[in-house]
Each structure stands twice: as structure tokens, then as C-alpha cells.
Chain A
Amino acid sequence: MTGTASLLRTTALSAWYGDFQAIFDIDFEIGMGETVAVIGANGAGKSTFLRALAGALDTRPGMLSYDGNDIGHLPAHEVLRRGIALVPEGRKLFQSLSVEENLQIGGDHGRTGPWTLKRVFDLFPVLAERRVQPATSLSGGQQQMCAIGRALMANPRLLLCDEISLGLAPVIIRELYERLVTIAAEGTTLVIVEQDINRALEAADRFYCFQKGRVSLQGPARGFDRQAITAAYFGL
């Protein structure tokens, strides 16, 4: 933490998929306006962690404290109303909705704030060109833009991005990360989950490294010993 007020804190957060426990006793904290990267290998529990924050997994009361309130018992739709939005892994756009409708539905149940349909179209002009097309007709990068836009439409205070670079060309990834800077400049707090260590550390203020469902290392994003990160990443 860099001296700012805490926005979200987890205390011994554990989450399960059925009988399988995917994350164990995670203590995590993010301050207002901060950008924090969560890195780790495949299956380290990064996505589970984000889904737990978003309320999509059953967590216990007391495990999640957001803006001073316990949200561990709240379902996903209530968590969103309080200002936590997730850009899910694999984008998960609604296939029978148009591009514009996918964005609109993101705002239908969210908060009011700076992000409107117009502002999202300004951020991603290509979406405006394709607003009436089905979301499935977009390219991978455009779909990712649409998924980010959908989450922004809820005007979240905390935006959770799950592997937004997955399967995309480097030039597109660079563009997406440039947009994240714009989003953070609005005062939005960001959690970025990535497999690409360099990409994540470049965008973030601090990082957590996950390994087999536990935090194996954490610290400031810049000036950290790369060898220590690699070791924490792979468990060498």
C-alpha cells in the first residue's frame, strides 16, 4: 500500500469450485486509485480470486471488506451495484445482443458516473462503427474492447480485468493497455490479472504473485528482483 486509503481488503480469502479449493487464505489489499497486478502461472488461482472478489463464488462473511463494508456474503449483482465490475476471462459477451446492447446492459444495473455510451465509443471508436452488429461478429481484440466497455458502463470504482491479453496480437495488447491508463486516470482502481509478467508489472503500481492458490510474493511493481519473481511464479 502506498499510503492511500484502502478500497478493498481480503482476509484469509478462500474459495472453492465444488469440492475443489482453488485459493487458500489470501490476504490482499488495494488502495483507492491504485493499479495492482496479480500474476501467476496457469491454474494459480488468479481467475478464481477475481471471481471471488466479484461475488461470483461463495465466500464467507468477513473475508471481503470493500470500502469498510463486509461484502463476503453478497451475490454478484449486488457487488456490481456497489461498484466492483469484472471483465471476465474469455470476454463472455452476450451473443444474441448487438455491440451497443452489450455495452448498454453493462450500464443498466450499474452506478452513474463519467462512463456513458458516448465516452466508451470515444475510448474505443471501432465499437461505434460496429454498434449494430452482433457482438460475435467482432474480432478478438474488438470483443475484448467491448467486454471492457461493458464493465466500464457500470461506472465501477474497482475494475477487475481477467487476462485481457489472452490470444491477442501484441499490437492490440499494447492498445488495450494504453486504454487502461486512460481508465485509471478517471480515478478507477484496477486489478489486472495477467500471465505475462512484464506486461503486468509495466502497468501496475504493485503486484501479487500467486502460486498454487496462495500468495507467493508481493511488492512494488518496479525495481523488484526479477529472479525472485520468476522463482515465486514457477515455484522454483
Chain B
Amino acid sequence: MSWISDIDWAGVLIQGALIGGLYALFAIGLSLAFGIMRLVNIAHGDLIVLCAYVAMIVVNATGVHPLWSIAVVVPVMFVAGYLMQRSLLNFTLGPSILPPLLVTFGISVIIQNVLLEVFGADTRRLNAGAMETASITLPGDVTVGVFPLVIFSVALLSLGSLQYLLYRTKLGRAFRATSDDAGTAELVGINNRHLYCVAMGIAMAFTALAAVLFSIRTSFDPSSGAINLIFAFEAVIIGGLGSLWGTLVGGIILGVSQSLGGSVVGPLVSDLIGNPVAAQWQILTGHIVFIIVLIVKPDGLFPRIRD
């Protein structure tokens, strides 16, 4: 077991934490929709993949660096989110949580199959060039990739701006009021149906941001949605429902768990059973940690839910 002494612990932990930023970004859209309108969006993972394909189209058509595609994908998905809520999801909202669940499940199936039909089953990835492999060396001889740093910075900026939006603006005040009591919100002049459309637009804008970063880091195909949905759910639940910064902590815990799973837990298990299983343990470790959190703290680490 000499490999244990070779592990770059600081690198493993930091890399994992930075990737956690991506999971937090995944979680924002899911969390917003649930927080404001109690809508569990089963199609969230597939919408991430859809955004990735839209980014790919933009990059292929214009030849710009993938990060520049954000300027197109984010506004396009804001409008798409608004229209999806207005034309479909608003009709599913009511006292029962089940109709939106079923309809977004349907959307998930449709997106997967349309993507398969249009783009085929080939695995894609956006090429960000030198940025992908560039790294900087921190004091203490720890090497950190530039791109994971970009992901984490975007996550921090996103959560910061969302915090500002929710707690410092008129729109955010309306979001929180509607989340508290939709009926009384109507009585103070809030048009809930319109507000829900704006909320879904914003959720999709953040999802698009996450998707562009995801499409550079990971290869994707039309069936990649499910695992992204699970990562987003896990980040939200570990952090605690309704907690903005808890989501970031949830994402970091998930990222670090996966990172440790790939470089420590996996090899350890491989040694014990004498078979090479390291790769599978990366994602599995994340799930195991998620389940442990569920058992120990079912409400997540920083619960803010009141009802």
C-alpha cells in the first residue's frame, strides 16, 4: 500500500473542493424552482445537457472560445425558461406537488430523445484550449488547475449575486414573499404567475452558466442528464434545503468526497479485494457520503426550510 504515501492530499482536497463549485452551480436552478414555487424539476439534469448542446452550436457556428458562448446561451435559456414556465409549468402548479413532477419527467424524456435524434449518441466536449491544462502553483508546492479555479470563482460570483438579488432587490423581496405565502403575495399586488416565469428564467440562466463550464470539463451525450440531476439534488440536500451558501458547502462536500473516492477510497478497495475498481469509487463515494449525511442530518447541514 505504498501508494498512500504518494498521494498529494492537498491537491486532492483542493481539486475536489473547486469542482464542488460546479455542483453548487447545478444546484442553484433546482433550488430556486423548488424554493419559490415548490416545483421539483426532474428535467433539470437534461436541461443542463440541453444548454451544453446549445453552447456547442454557438461555438461551432461562430468559432469563439467556449466561455464566450455564455453571452448567448445564458440569455437564450432565460427566455426559454420563461416560456417553458408560462406555456406549460404554470398549469401544473397547485396544492399537489405531483403534477409538476410528472410533467418535468415528461420534459426530461422529450429532451433526451430530441437530442439523440438531432445530435446522435456521440460523446461531445467543448475545447477550451490551453486553459484546460494550465495550472498555477500555490505556496506549499500545491498545484491547482486554472479551470477549476474559474469554475469555483463563477460559483462564488453566482451565489453572491443571487444573494444580492434575493435580499436586496424588490424582485427578491417578491420571490421570498411568494415563497412564504402565495395567496397573500397576490393581495399585496404580486402577479405570482408572472413571477414564477421570471424565477424559472433566472433558474435557467444559472443552469446555462453551469452547463457551459460542465461542457468544457466533462464529455457529455444526450443521456448525461440523470447523473447531473443527482449531483444537483445531492448538493442541495447535503447543504440544507433553502440555504444558499449551504448549497456551496454541499457541492464542496460532494466534490471532495468524489475526489477522495477516486484517489484514496477506490485504490484502497482495489487493494483489499484484489481487483481494480478504483474508477467506479469516485462517484460511489459521493453517493455514500450523501447517504451518511441523510442519516445523520436528514435536514442537511444548514436547513432553512420552515414548513
Does A109 contact B188, Cβ atoms closer than 8 Å?
yes
Does B180 contact A109, Cβ atoms closer than 8 Å?
no
Our pick among A76, A94, A96 for the contact of B186 (Cβ within 8 Å) is A76
Does B189 contact A110, Cβ atoms closer than 8 Å?
yes
**CB-CB < 8 A to B173: which residues of A?**
97, 101, 104-105, 108
B154-193 interface mask toward A, CB cutoff 8 Å, 1 = contact, 0 = none? 0000000000000000100110110111011111111110
Query: Given the complex of chains A and B, what is the CA–CA distance between A77 and B174 in angstroms?
Result: 12
**CB-CB < 8 A to B177: which residues of A?**
94, 97, 105
Our pick among B170, B179, B183 for the contact of A56 (Cβ within 8 Å) is B183
Query: Given the complex of chains A and B, what is the CA–CA distance between A80 and B188 in angstroms?
Result: 7
Does B306 contact A76, Cβ atoms closer than 8 Å?
no
Query: Given the complex of chains A and B, what is the CA–CA distance between A75 and B186 in angstroms?
Result: 8
Whole-angstrom distance from the CB of A196 to the nearest CB of chain B?
24
**CB-CB < 8 A to A54: which residues of B?**
187
Our pick among A92, A106, A150 for the contact of B181 (Cβ within 8 Å) is A92
Whole-angstrom distance from the CB of A100 to the nearest CB of chain B?
10
**CB-CB < 8 A to B179: which residues of A?**
96
**CB-CB < 8 A to A80: which residues of B?**
187-189
**CB-CB < 8 A to B185: which residues of A?**
94
Does A94 contact B187, Cβ atoms closer than 8 Å?
no
Enumerate A71-121 residues with CB–CB distance to B below 8 Å. 75-77, 80-81, 85-86, 88, 92, 94-97, 101, 104-106, 108-110
**CB-CB < 8 A to A109: which residues of B?**
188-190
Does A154 contact B189, Cβ atoms closer than 8 Å?
yes
Does B174 contact A108, Cβ atoms closer than 8 Å?
yes
Does A96 contact B176, Cβ atoms closer than 8 Å?
yes
Does B183 contact A77, Cβ atoms closer than 8 Å?
no
Whole-angstrom distance from the CB of B182 to the nearest CB of chain A?
11
Does A94 contact B170, Cβ atoms closer than 8 Å?
no
Most buried by B among A88, A94, A151: A94
Does B187 contact A56, Cβ atoms closer than 8 Å?
yes
Interface residues of chain B: helix, strand, loop or mixed (majority):
helix
Whole-angstrom distance from the CB of B110 to the nearest CB of chain A?
31
**CB-CB < 8 A to B170: which residues of A?**
104, 108
Does A94 contact B189, Cβ atoms closer than 8 Å?
no
Query: Given the complex of chains A and B, what is the CA–CA distance between A157 and B109 in angstroms?
Result: 51
Query: Given the complex of chains A and B, what is the CA–CA distance between A105 and B195 in angstroms?
Result: 14
Does A92 contact B306, Cβ atoms closer than 8 Å?
no
Does A92 contact B186, Cβ atoms closer than 8 Å?
no
Does B189 contact A108, Cβ atoms closer than 8 Å?
yes
**CB-CB < 8 A to A81: which residues of B?**
189
**CB-CB < 8 A to B306: which residues of A?**
95-96
**CB-CB < 8 A to A101: which residues of B?**
173
Query: Given the complex of chains A and B, what is the CA–CA distance between A108 and B178 in angstroms?
Result: 14
Whole-angstrom distance from the CB of A213 to the nearest CB of chain B?
21
Given contacts A94-B177, A95-B306, A96-B306, are A106 and B188 in contact (CB under 8 A)? yes
Does A92 contact B176, Cβ atoms closer than 8 Å?
no
Query: Given the complex of chains A and B, what is the CA–CA distance between A81 and B189 in angstroms?
Result: 7
Query: Given the complex of chains A and B, what is the CA–CA distance between A63 and B176 in angstroms?
Result: 33
Closest residue of A by beta carbon distance from B193? A75
Query: Given the complex of chains A and B, what is the CA–CA distance between A76 and B184 in angstroms?
Result: 9
Query: Given the complex of chains A and B, what is the CA–CA distance between A205 and B179 in angstroms?
Result: 39
Query: Given the complex of chains A and B, what is the CA–CA distance between A76 and B181 in angstroms?
Result: 14
Does B176 contact A77, Cβ atoms closer than 8 Å?
no
Does A88 contact B176, Cβ atoms closer than 8 Å?
no
Our pick among A55, A77, A88 for the contact of B190 (Cβ within 8 Å) is A77
Query: Given the complex of chains A and B, what is the CA–CA distance between A102 and B157 in angstroms?
Result: 28
Does B181 contact A94, Cβ atoms closer than 8 Å?
yes
Whole-angstrom distance from the CB of B91 to the nearest CB of chain A?
16
Query: Given the complex of chains A and B, what is the CA–CA distance between A172 and B304 in angstroms?
Result: 33
Query: Given the complex of chains A and B, what is the CA–CA distance between A54 and B184 in angstroms?
Result: 11
Query: Given the complex of chains A and B, what is the CA–CA distance between A225 and B177 in angstroms?
Result: 45
A27-66 interface mask toward B, CB cutoff 8 Å, 1 = contact, 0 = none? 0000000000000000000000000001110000000000
A contacts, CB < 8 Å to B: 54-56, 75-77, 80-81, 85-86, 88, 92, 94-97, 101, 104-106, 108-110, 150-151, 154
6 more CB-based (< 8 A) A-B contacts, given A76-B187, A109-B189: A56-B186, A80-B189, A92-B181, A105-B174, A105-B188, A109-B190
Q: What are 23 A-B interface contacts by the 8 Å CB criterion?
A: A76-B189, A77-B186, A77-B189, A81-B189, A86-B187, A94-B180, A94-B185, A95-B181, A95-B306, A96-B179, A96-B180, A97-B173, A97-B177, A101-B173, A104-B170, A104-B173, A105-B173, A105-B177, A105-B188, A108-B173, A108-B188, A110-B189, A154-B188
Nearest 4 pairs between A and B by C-beta? A109-B189, A80-B189, A76-B186, A92-B184
